[in-house]
């Protein structure tokens, strides 16, 4: 028969810290604390398996549980010497929820259970404190009515307020025994009135009611919402802990408190917490009275008067401090603790690994390794790579005042202030003049890249977390708030409205890409400090990781940032962003709109020196590291002119008429450009384009090798290949160009030609493709689109429902669809390596900076991941953790 009840306390522990799944976090740790000799009030845990069974059997308990619970109660009675329901010396218990992971405030707990009209007298007599007994009884009725009976919470609060007013009292602690007794009468009247029955006097009815309610709270609406937001499976269930009460409300030598063994916000090694004298349970966090500091140092730092626990109860505090040290050594991590002091005696009620900010996580990990509490490798595992994001960008000064206009999605972290501008050109112009600007658009498109780059931050009214604005901003490390739906943007009038406020071009706003807040005016920011702990942890991470980490970058500034963050090369340099440059776009348009090869070559000749300059600068910054350059990829129409003036400019440059140009532009229209004339299809039809780019690459490489003595390693990447033959044609072209340049310059260089794998066919036929290509880079943005048949730019409308309904666990554009897209990658890696054992394999989609996706890359043993510059440290840490797990 399955055992459902596990005892703890009084030298018995049926479970321990390893039984978290069965006993919930709270139950497992209570058992663990009891087994290492800490003072834990005795109790028992009803396992999460019972929760599952309870729901399977239509919210009904099996008979066998009654006997087990009776045994559990006997265990508590044996240790405390009190009896449940005994009017002379009653045992009181708490009935507490506790799931596998903590769900703060989501589920229910009932305290002081076992009180009724008779036992309250017994409690008064044995404690010698009638005030305390009646205070406990009124607390119990109030909590039980709320949690178990589901009565109107507000009416009980109200009755308490009226009672205090009647007596002329301000604080709960001013109330005496008679006052509380009177309130108990009033509470019982409220129960009768709202529930239609008297308050349950049978203590066993009380207990089973509470157990049912705690299991029931697992399916409450708020718990369900919390689980959805935190990816917690509904099948886990909660455990129920029944535990002897200890009382922090027994007068001036009693207290209750919460504490962290280190500062959870800064990571400092200093006890941190609050307590309240003569109070119970939730009083500390409920804000009924202002809690007092734990330590004297904290009280003095805050300039507070009321004595700290260290000062008010020095002996108990010393005992508590001893427990802190013991718990940290035992769990080897910072603990978040609940305790109660009953007449000078300390009792531990809960411990768990404490939540912390990224900054604190970093500091604690490094400190604990230095203290010898954990190893360097364990320290590497302690910091959530995604949380590093918070540390790498400037953040708003938490103490600065802010005037919040609206809130959008936190699309790219960091904070920025600047003058509002409504188009990319203005952003660029003002930035050149030295202004800080925030680019505000309904949504952004590839044409806005230069403006996004020039801006300090980006704000859009439409689009989600994976919209163009969000993806590009994250790539550039620009703070971005997307999808701020309440913004009414009138770009013509150069203003936006939000509520009854109007912000015009040139006015200053501040955006916080970590919270999504949009504020009027400037809010002071603080620069992150990256030295010290950050550097140390990164060093430890680099020691254990196998995957190399490169960056996706195409501007000199991004390349420098990435190298500063430790990038070991470039995994994706997109050449099209260079084409959008204002000084070049006319030549690009001239090339696209040319009707024959001769016309195209004339335009390409103008672009050649520009591209060569771009590549030379990047090669120099990357000083001898590999640089993967992707040949032109997007459909040509993305570069087309829209406005009359733009057509006229191209007409002047080409000598063709505006009408002829417009006709040619119309011819270039595509119904589905993502699957249209793009990628290597451009190179197949207009080889002169790729030829120019290859020439620019090799000329720049030779130039830099000669100038600096550090020969770059160009890796020329052909995009959107589906077949071996496409790559073969392109490789011939690239090799021929390389040979020509080497002959002209009288110097050879090593280089590779490879391909992006972003079409399922290429992945399946990887064995053949690898006969030609020396490397594969998995372009997982497009590979996800082409595998799922989902356009990233249109996915916003339905993706949330897909995640809600569990079709996808997470947005597949953020975290790799390991089952589907991952299988293609696995197949391509296997088949490619079978043909060419030294085939270089990497990933360059957005996923290259996502820790879960990086873990997958480690599992299929890719050679490197490539992430946007600000995600390079995240990738380094994630790669180290993946290696440690593997
Ligand atoms: P939560 O998970 O919401 O923190 P808990 O089960 O930990 O809920 O209980 C709520 C409050 O009641 C906490 O402050 C806890 O310390 C206190 N509490 C729980 N059980 C007891 C007990 N047996 N004696 C005294 N206080 C208790
Ligand atoms: Mg708790
Ligand atoms: Mg692509």
The protein residues having their C-beta less than 5 angstroms from ligand 3 (an ion) are: 758, 779, 782
Mean pLDDT of 69-77: 98
Distance from chain centroid for Cα 401: 26
Tallying the residues shown for the chain, one arrives at: 886
Decide which of 276 and 792 is more confident. 276
CA of 679 to the centre of ligand 3 (A): 8
Strand 255-260: give its sheet, edge to edge.
292-293, 272-277, 255-260, 335-342, 345-353
Helix (H, G, I), strand (E, B) or coil at 494: coil
Q: Is 670 annotated as a binding residue?
A: no
Q: What is the pLDDT of residue 847?
A: 94
Q: What is the pLDDT of residue 170?
A: 79
Decide which of 739 and 166 is more confident. 739
Domain assignments of the chain as residue spans, ordered by start: 5-244, 255-353, 393-526, 545-885
Q: What is the pLDDT of residues 828-847, one digit of tens each?
A: 999 999 999 999 999 998 89
Contact 615, 700 (CB under 8 A): yes
Domain 545-885, what fold?
A: TIM Barrel (3.20.20)
Calpha distance 72→31 (Å, rounded): 14
Q: Is 782 annotated as a binding residue?
A: yes
Domain 393-526, what fold?
A: Glucose Oxidase; domain 1 (3.50.30)
Q: What is the pLDDT of residue 288?
A: 64
Calpha distance 474→841 (Å, rounded): 24
pLDDT category, 223, cuts 50, 70, 90? Answer: confident
Q: Is 546 annotated as a binding residue?
A: no
Calpha distance 262→735 (Å, rounded): 61
In this structure, what token pair is assigned to residue 326?
Answer: 């013991």
Q: What is the pLDDT of residues 549-569, one digit of tens each?
A: 999 999 998 999 899 899 999
Mean pLDDT of 326-340: 96
In DSSP notation, 107-163 reads S-EEEEET--TTHHHHHHHHHT-HHHHHHHHHHHHHHHHHHTS---HHHHHHHHHHH
Calpha distance 520→534 (Å, rounded): 33
Is the CB–ligand 1 distance for residue 112 below 6 Å?
no
Cβ-based neighbour number of residue 104 at 10 Å: 8
Q: What is the pLDDT of residue 287?
A: 59
Q: What is the pLDDT of residues 380-438, one digit of tens each?
A: 999 999 888 778 877 888 888 999 999 998 888 789 999 999 999 999 999 988 899 99
CA of 824 to the centre of ligand 1 (A): 50
In DSSP notation, 354-388 reads PP--HHHHHHHHHHHHHHTSS-HHHHHHHS-GGGG
Q: Is 779 annotated as a binding residue?
A: yes
pLDDT category, 475, cuts 50, 70, 90? Answer: low
Q: What is the CATH number of domain 255-353?
A: 3.30.470.20
Question: In this prediction, what percent of the chain has a pLDDT beyond 70?
Answer: 98
Q: What is the pLDDT of residue 166?
A: 87
Pocket test residue of 102, 281, 282, 320 for ligand 1, highest count of atoms within 8 A of CB: 281
Nearest of 840, 781, 854, 834 to residue 811 by alpha carbon = 781
Atom of ligand 1 nearest to the CA of 43: 23
Cβ-based neighbour number of residue 776 at 10 Å: 30
| Nearest ligand for residue 762 CA | 3
CA of 636 to the centre of ligand 3 (A): 14
In this structure, what token pair is assigned to residue 259?
Answer: 């504490």
| Ligand 1 atom 23: residue of nearest CA | 245
| Nearest ligand for residue 349 CA | 1
Contact 541, 878 (CB under 8 A): no
Is the CB–ligand 1 distance for residue 111 below 6 Å?
yes
Decide which of 787 and 514 is more confident. 787
Radius of gyration (Cα) for the chain, nearest Å? 33
Atom of ligand 1 nearest to the CA of 96: 6
Q: What is the pLDDT of residue 704?
A: 96
Pocket test residue of 115, 276, 282 for ligand 1, highest count of atoms within 8 A of CB: 282
Q: What is the pLDDT of residues 811-826, one digit of tens each?
A: 899 899 999 999 999 9
Q: CA separation (Å) from 528 to 363, 391, 534, 871? A: 14, 6, 11, 15
Q: What is the pLDDT of residues 254-264, one digit of tens each?
A: 999 999 999 88
Long-range contacts of the stretch 160-167 (C-beta < 8 A, 24+): none
Q: Is 344 annotated as a binding residue?
A: no
- The predicted model scores a pTM of 0.81
Active site residues: 468, 844
Is the CB–ligand 1 distance for residue 80 below 6 Å?
no
CA of 269 to the centre of ligand 1 (A): 26
CA of 883 to the centre of ligand 3 (A): 28
Is the CB–ligand 1 distance for residue 246 below 6 Å?
yes
Helix (H, G, I), strand (E, B) or coil at 447: helix
Q: What is the pLDDT of residues 751-788, one digit of tens each?
A: 999 999 999 999 999 999 999 999 999 999 999 999 99
Position 236 pLDDT exceeds 90: yes
Pairing between β-strand 517-520 and β-strand 403-407 as defined by DSSP bridges: antiparallel
Question: In this prediction, what percent of the chain has a pLDDT beyond 90?
Answer: 73
CA of 635 to the centre of ligand 3 (A): 11
Assigned CATH class of 5-244: alpha beta
Is the CB–ligand 1 distance for residue 281 below 6 Å?
yes
Nearest of 22, 4, 141 to residue 62 by alpha carbon = 4
CA of 214 to the centre of ligand 2 (A): 14
Pocket test residue of 349, 351, 352, 355 for ligand 1, highest count of atoms within 8 A of CB: 349
Mean pLDDT of 696-717: 96
Q: What is the pLDDT of residue 483?
A: 87
pLDDT category, 655, cuts 50, 70, 90? Answer: confident
Q: What is the DSSP letter of 869?
A: G
Q: What is the pLDDT of residues 585-633, one digit of tens each?
A: 889 999 988 888 999 999 999 999 999 999 999 999 998 999 999 999 9
Mean pLDDT score of the chain: 92
Q: What is the pLDDT of residue 527?
A: 66
Atom of ligand 1 nearest to the CA of 285: 14
Q: Is 781 annotated as a binding residue?
A: yes
Is the CB–ligand 1 distance for residue 872 below 6 Å?
no
Atom of ligand 1 nearest to the CA of 97: 6
Pocket test residue of 109, 142, 211, 238 for ligand 1, highest count of atoms within 8 A of CB: 109
């Amino acid at each position: 028969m399955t055992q459902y009840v596990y005892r703890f306390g009084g030298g018995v522990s049926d479970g321990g810290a390893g039984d978290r799944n069965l006993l919930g976090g709270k139950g497992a740790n209570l058992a663990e604390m009891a087994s290492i000799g800490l003072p834990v009030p005795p109790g028992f845990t009803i396992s999460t398996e019972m929760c599952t069974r309870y729901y399977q059997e239509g919210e009904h308990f099996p008979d066998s549980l009654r006997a087990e619970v009776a045994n559990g109660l006997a265990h508590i009675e044996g240790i405390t010497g009190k009896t449940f329901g005994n009017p002379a010396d009653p045992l009181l218990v708490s009935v507490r929820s506790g799931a596998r992971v903590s769900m703060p405030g989501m589920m229910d707990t009932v305290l002081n259970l076992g009180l009724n009209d008779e036992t309250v007298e017994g409690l008064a007599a044995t404690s010698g404190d009638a005030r305390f007994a009646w205070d406990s009884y009124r607390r119990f009725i109030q909590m039980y009515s709320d949690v178990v009976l589901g009565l109107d919470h507000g009416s009980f609060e109200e009755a308490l307020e009226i009672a205090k007013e009647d007596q002329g009292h301000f604080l709960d602690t001013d109330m005496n025994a008679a006052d509380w007794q009177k309130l108990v009468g009033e509470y019982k009247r409220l129960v009768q009135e709202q529930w239609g029955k008297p308050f349950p006097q049978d203590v066993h009815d009380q207990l089973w009611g509470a157990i049912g309610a705690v299991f029931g709270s697992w399916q409450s609406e708020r718990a369900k919402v919390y689980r959805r937001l935190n990816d917690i499976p509904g099948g886990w269930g909660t455990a129920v802990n029944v535990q002897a009460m200890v009382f922090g409300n027994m007068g001036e030598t009693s207290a209750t408190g919460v504490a962290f063994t280190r500062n959870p916000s800064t990571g400092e090694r200093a006890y941190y917490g609050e307590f309240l004298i003569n109070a119970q349970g939730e009083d500390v966090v409920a804000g009924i009275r202002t809690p007092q500091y734990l330590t004297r140092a904290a009280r003095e730092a805050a300039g507070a008067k009321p004595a700290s626990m260290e000062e008010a109860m020095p002996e108990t505090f010393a005992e508590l401090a001893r427990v802190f040290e013991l718990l940290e050594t035992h769990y080897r991590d910072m603990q978040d603790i609940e305790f109660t002091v009953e007449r000078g005696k300390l009792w531990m009620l809960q411990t768990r690994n404490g939540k912390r900010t990224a900054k604190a996580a970093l500091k604690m990990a490094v400190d604990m390794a230095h203290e010898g509490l954990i190893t360097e490798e364990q320290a590497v595992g302690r910091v959530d790579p995604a949380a590093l994001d918070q540390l790498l960008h400037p953040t708003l000064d938490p103490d600065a005042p802010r005037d919040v206009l609206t809130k959008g999605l936190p699309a790219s972290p960091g904070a920025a202030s600047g003058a509002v501008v409504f188009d990319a050109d203005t952003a660029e112009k003002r930035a050149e003049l030295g202004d800080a600007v925030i680019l505000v658009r309904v949504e952004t498109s590839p044409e806005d890249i230069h403006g996004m780059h020039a801006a300090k931050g980006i704000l859009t009214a439409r689009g989600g977390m994976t919209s163009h604005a969000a993806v590009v901003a994250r790539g550039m490390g620009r703070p971005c708030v997307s999808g701020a739906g309440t913004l009414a943007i009138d770009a013509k009038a150069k203003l936006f409205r939000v509520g009854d406020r109007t912000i015009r071009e040139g006015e200053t706003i501040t955006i916080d890409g970590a919270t999504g807040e949009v504020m009027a005016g400037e809010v002071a920011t603080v620069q992150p400090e990256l030295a010290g702990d950050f550097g140390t942890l990164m060093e430890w991470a680099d020691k254990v990781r196998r995957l190399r980490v490169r960056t996706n970058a195409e501007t000199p500034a991004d390349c420098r940032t990435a190298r500063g963050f430790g990038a070991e090369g470039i995994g994706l340099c997109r050449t099209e962003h260079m084409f959008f440059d204002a000084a070049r776009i006319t030549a690009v348009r001239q090339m696209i709109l040319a009707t024959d090869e001769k016309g195209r070559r004339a335009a390409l000749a103008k672009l050649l020196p520009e591209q060569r300059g771009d590549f030379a600068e990047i090669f120099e910054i990357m000083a001898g590291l590999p640089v993967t350059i992707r040949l032109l990829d997007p459909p040509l129409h993305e570069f087309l002119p829209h406005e009359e003036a733009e057509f006229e400019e191209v007409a002047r440059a080409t000598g063709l008429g505006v009408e002829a140009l417009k006709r040619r532009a119309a011819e270039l229209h595509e119904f589905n450009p993502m699957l249209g004339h793009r990628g290597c299809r451009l190179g197949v039809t207009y080889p002169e384009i790729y030829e120019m780019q290859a020439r620019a690459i090799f000329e720049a490489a030779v130039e830099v090798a000669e100038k600096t003595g550090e020969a770059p390693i160009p890796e020329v990447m052909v995009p959107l290949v589906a077949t071996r033959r496409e790559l073969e044609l392109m490789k011939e072209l690239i090799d021929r160009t390389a040979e020509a340049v080497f002959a002209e310059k009288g110097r050879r260089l090593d280089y590779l030609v490879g391909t992006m794998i972003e079409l399922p066919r290429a992945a399946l036929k990887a064995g053949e493709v690898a006969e030609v290509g020396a490397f594969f880079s998995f372009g997982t943005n497009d590979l996800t689109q082409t595998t799922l048949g989902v356009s990233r730019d249109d996915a916003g409308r339905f993706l949330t429902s897909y995640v809600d309904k569990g079709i996808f666990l997470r947005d597949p554009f953020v975290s790799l669809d390991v089952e589907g897209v991952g299988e293609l990658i696995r197949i391509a890696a296997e088949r490619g390596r079978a043909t060419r054992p030294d085939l270089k394999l990497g990933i360059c989609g957005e996923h290259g900076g996502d820790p879960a996706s990086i873990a997958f890359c480690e599992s299929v043993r890719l050679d490197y991941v490539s992430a946007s510059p600000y995600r390079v440290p995240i990738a380094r840490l994630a790669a180290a953790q993946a290696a440690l797990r593997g």
